[in-house]
Amino acid sequence: MSPDPAPVPPSLEVSGLAYAYPDGHQALFGVDLTVGRGERVALLGPNGAGKTTLVLHLNGILEAGAGSVHVAGLPVGKRHMAEIRRRVGIVFQDPDDQLFMPTVREDVAFGPAAGGLRGAELEERVMEALKQVGMEEYAARPPHHLSFGQRRRVAVATVLAMRPEILVLDEPSSNLDPASRRELADILRALDVTVLMVTHDLPYALELCGRAVILSDGVIAADDRTQDLLCDTALMRAHRLELPFGFDPRSVTIQAP
Confidence at residue 200, expressed as pLDDT on a 0 to 100 scale? 95
Say yes or no to pLDDT of 120 above 90: yes
Average pLDDT over residues 220-231: 96
Sign of CA dihedral 143, 175, 252, 219: positive
pLDDT tens per residue, range 6-27 = 678 999 999 999 999 999 999 9
Q: List domains and CATH numbers for the chain.
A: 12-242 (3.40.50.300)
Confidence at residue 5, expressed as pLDDT on a 0 to 100 scale? 66
More confident site: 229 or 8: 229
Sign of CA dihedral 98, 101, 104, 108: negative
- Cα–Cα distance, 85 to 96 (Å, whole number): 20
Residue 130 near residue 157 (C-beta atoms within 8 A) = yes
Q: Is 28 exposed, middle or buried (0-12, 13-18, 19+ CB in 10 A)?
A: buried
Average pLDDT over residues 113-137: 94
- Cα–Cα distance, 110 to 162 (Å, whole number): 10
Average pLDDT over residues 145-168: 96
Confidence at residue 245, expressed as pLDDT on a 0 to 100 scale? 87
Q: State the pLDDT confidence band at 2, using cuts at 50, 70 and 90.
A: low
Of 113-122, 155-164, 246-255, the range with the highest mean pLDDT is 155-164
DSSP letter at 69 equals E
Q: What share of the chain is helix, strand, coil (3-state, %, to 5)?
A: 40, 25, 40
Q: State the pLDDT confidence band at 103, using cuts at 50, 70 and 90.
A: very high
CA angle, 192 as apex, 44 and 100 as ends, to 5°? Answer: 75
DSSP letter at 29 equals E
pLDDT tens per residue, range 27-65 = 999 999 999 999 999 999 999 899 999 999 999 999 999
Confidence at residue 246, expressed as pLDDT on a 0 to 100 scale? 86
Confidence at residue 7, expressed as pLDDT on a 0 to 100 scale? 77
Average pLDDT over residues 227-252: 92
Other C-beta atoms closer than 10 Å to the C-beta of 65 total 14
CA dihedral 100, 103, 105, 106 (to 10 degrees): -50
- Cα–Cα distance, 108 to 110 (Å, whole number): 6
| 124-133, 140-149, 184-193, 245-254: least confidently modelled range | 245-254
Confidence at residue 148, expressed as pLDDT on a 0 to 100 scale? 95
Residue 241 near residue 73 (C-beta atoms within 8 A) = no
